[in-house]
Structure 1
Amino acid sequence: MNIDSPEVTVSKSQEELFNVLSDVKNFEKLMPANINKFEMLNEKRFLFALSGMPEIVLELKSTEPFNKVILGAASDKLPFTLTANLTKVDDNTTTAQLVFEGQFNAMMGMMIKGPITNFIGTLTENMSKL
């Protein structure tokens, strides 16, 4: 399953936005209002829970300075990645898009597509407010 967020414009340089997203503690600022829990587990890993969803542990998997930040599920039970693609517009403006890629059976995919689409949409929208 692949879900692409809308592209948003962020009033930060590409390098600055990359640095913000590469520091996973900053994802707490991007979380939706219905977050029940956010906990840093180490410098590359955090746990979060939204209303009505199980806890999820995300970790920084890799980066491609200053173009890409890839987070992934720490558990093999729900294998997915969340990639932030960053494109320089000018020295103080960057466009960003989140891409969710997961391997789920058809039933699980139907159950989570709506909530995941809303979740990455909110993350992206909040990124534009940084």
Structure 2
Amino acid sequence: MTIIESKITVNKPVAEVYEFLADLNNHQQLMPENIYNWSSTEDEAKFTIQNMAKLALKISSRKKNEEIVAIPSEEAPFALELKWSLSDKGDGKTVALHSISAELNMMMKMLASGPLQKLVDHQTATLKKVLEK
């Protein structure tokens, strides 16, 4: 299992960060420009990654103010899980850890690790920007 992570501190209370992330409609704001054909509800999102794949995700679990986990709702190019783990840092600040766990063979790991790392880094940086406006 390949695990790709990115962590950031957001100057917002954990409840506010959780409420934003718990609704997949908000995740479109976190996506890079190479994501298109986005459609979503609170619990599911479908989109296309340019030159790569179509993905359909659904929330598999939520732990209030702690964690949101999404998994594919349709067949994906490889098994994966996207997780946001939140921890209250006090002083109205939240640490957000975004991780993607993916079942990648050696070839896929070489091809996908870089783009997946860029994706999680982009999403955490954008989360901070969007919530701290």
TM over 0.5: yes
Structure 1 portions without partners, runs of 5+: none
Partner amino acid for 2:110?
M
> Residues 4-47 of structure 1: CA distance to partner in whole angstroms, max 9, x if unpaired?
11x2111221011111111110001111123222111x431111
Residues 14, 91 of structure 1: 8 Å contact kept: no
Residues 3, 100 of structure 1: 8 Å contact kept: yes
Q: Distance in 2 between matches of 1:105 and 1:75?
A: 20
Q: Percent identity?
A: 26
> Residues 42-100 of structure 1: CA distance to partner in whole angstroms, max 9, x if unpaired?
43111122322211111111011211111112234421111111111125211111111
Counterpart of 1:59 in structure 2 is 58
Counterpart of 2:9 in structure 1 is 9
Counterpart of 2:30 in structure 1 is 30
Q: Secondary structure at the match of 1:43?
A: coil
Aligned residues: 128
Counterpart of 2:85 in structure 1 is 85
Q: Distance in 1 between matches of 2:74 and 2:108?
A: 16
Structure 2 portions without partners, runs of 5+: none
Q: Secondary structure at the match of 1:55?
A: strand
RMSD: 1.5
Q: Distance in 2 between matches of 1:22 and 1:89?
A: 19
TM-score under structure 1 normalisation? 0.90
